[in-house]
Amino acid sequence: MLNNPLTHGLWEKTAPAAPATPALEAAVTADVAIVGGGYTGLSAALHLAQAGKKVVLVEAIEVGYGGAGRNVGLINGGMWTMPQELPDVLGPIYGERLLNLLGDAPLYVRALIQKHGIPCELETNGTLHLAVGDAGLKEIEERQRQWSARGAPVTILSAEETAKRVGSRAYSGSLLDPRAGTLQPLAYARGLARTAIAAGATIHTQSAATGLAYENKLWTVKTAKGSVTAPWLIFSTDAYSTGPFEKIRKEQVYLPYFNLATRPLSPELLKQVLPAREGCWDTKEVLSSFRMDQAGRLVFGSVGALRNTGHAVHRDWSRRALKRLFPEIGNVEFEAEWFGWIGMSDDALPRFHKFGPQAVGFSAYNGRGIAPGTIFGKTLAEHVLGQIAEADLPLPLKDVQFPSFRPLKEAYYEAGAQIAHFAGERF
């Protein structure tokens, strides 16, 4: 997008074309105005339009431009944190409510895709959280214990079974979550947009919000050449927030994440490497992730930004890491490279904010955007429709709070990933 292959890489290359979404060039009215064309905004637009509401969504660049079009494509349940951390931080009512919602969210995503026939390379064989060493094995065993106590069907796989599923003997075990899976993230975003439009929603891209006003119980979102006025406002710009919603961005610390895609593997290799196509990520502090796309490309990623000196450092480390994990692949050639930003909150949990009366939004997905974004969009639609009261939402209302030393922390994460990858996998 924007003539930059490093923003969306393989996903833009292989996704179906986006639906027609002309820029907003008039003053229009709606029942609900939505700002942001990622999973949350698109899901909210779809569910509201299906309920008969007049919905107008404005997006600054293109559908899926932010994290929705750049991520790895793992449809995971819960958050990165241990399950028990949610009730520990949010209290037992909100914590368990959020866990239940997010635990089953991957199943909802899968059902939504299948119901509407969204072409996004959906794989439903689960995900594997890969244990590195004894410490990693203890971590996933504790994660399994906490999820199982809540009835989740997650299981620990031995090192031998993990090796069969992954095609590498590098791991001491894994946690299998059969609720989860993988998809082509930009294709999913574009499919949600197309489905929402078919249901009656209006979507305008190249229409950044430049101003926001509230008068006579109506919100007006201003763009360069038009405006949307509605009694309800949903903001879903998250880590890529700008303009009147920039404080949502400033509440989060950017963590860079990159992905590289190999050329399609041979049929022989595809029988050995991820033959069932589970999505994977490991327990390292500077974690790695990998999964297979529909054409047999291995998509490999980790923390880091593909810019300045980091581009060569992360690419070279990735070659070394893949050679150790899957030596049978041989010399690795990458067909596509791209990166983006994960918005991290100070407690690694999402937020529910209000900008005023009937102006609501969720944000700070901390690297878990697909399932939470989809289900939070549905939840916001239900709140607007009067089906869920504010007190019954999965998160308590919270004021926007800016983290201390945010620019310094962001520079530290980017530089730290370079240092770790420059030294890593050399011996």
For residue 282, give both structure tokens. 């490991």
What is the structure's pLDDT at 3?
Answer: 87
CATH class of 5-126+179-406+415-420: alpha beta
For β-strands 253-262 and 232-235, DSSP reports them as unpaired
Residue of 247, 250, 234, 236 whose CA lies nearest to 343? 250
What is the structure's pLDDT at 33?
Answer: 98
Average pLDDT for the chain: 96
Q: What is the mean pLDDT of residues 13-23?
A: 97
| Longest alpha-carbon distance in the chain | 67
What is the structure's pLDDT at 1?
Answer: 86
3-state secondary structure of 265: coil
Q: What is the mean pLDDT of residues 271-291?
A: 97
pLDDT tens string 392-405: 999 999 999 999 99
In contact, 333 and 264? CB cutoff 8 Å: no
Residue of 181, 38, 44 whose CA lies nearest to 106? 181
Return d(Cα 138, Cα 412) in angstroms, integer.
Answer: 28
Count CA atoms closer than 13 A to 110's CA, side-chain side.
Answer: 18
Return d(Cα 352, Cα 390) in angstroms, integer.
Answer: 10
pLDDT tens string 40-54: 999 999 999 999 999
Q: What is the mean pLDDT of residues 266-289?
A: 97
pLDDT tens string 197-238: 999 999 999 999 999 999 999 999 999 999 999 999 999 999
pLDDT tens string 94-130: 999 999 999 999 999 999 999 999 999 999 999 999 9
In contact, 358 and 379? CB cutoff 8 Å: no
What is the structure's pLDDT at 427?
Answer: 63
pLDDT tens string 150-186: 999 999 999 999 999 999 999 999 999 999 999 999 9
390 DSSP assignment: G
Q: Which residues are CB-contacts of 44 (< 8 A; sequence separation ≥ 6)? A: 32, 34, 55, 234, 236, 377, 378, 380, 381, 384
pTM of the model: 0.97
Domain positions in the chain are 5-126+179-406+415-420, 127-178
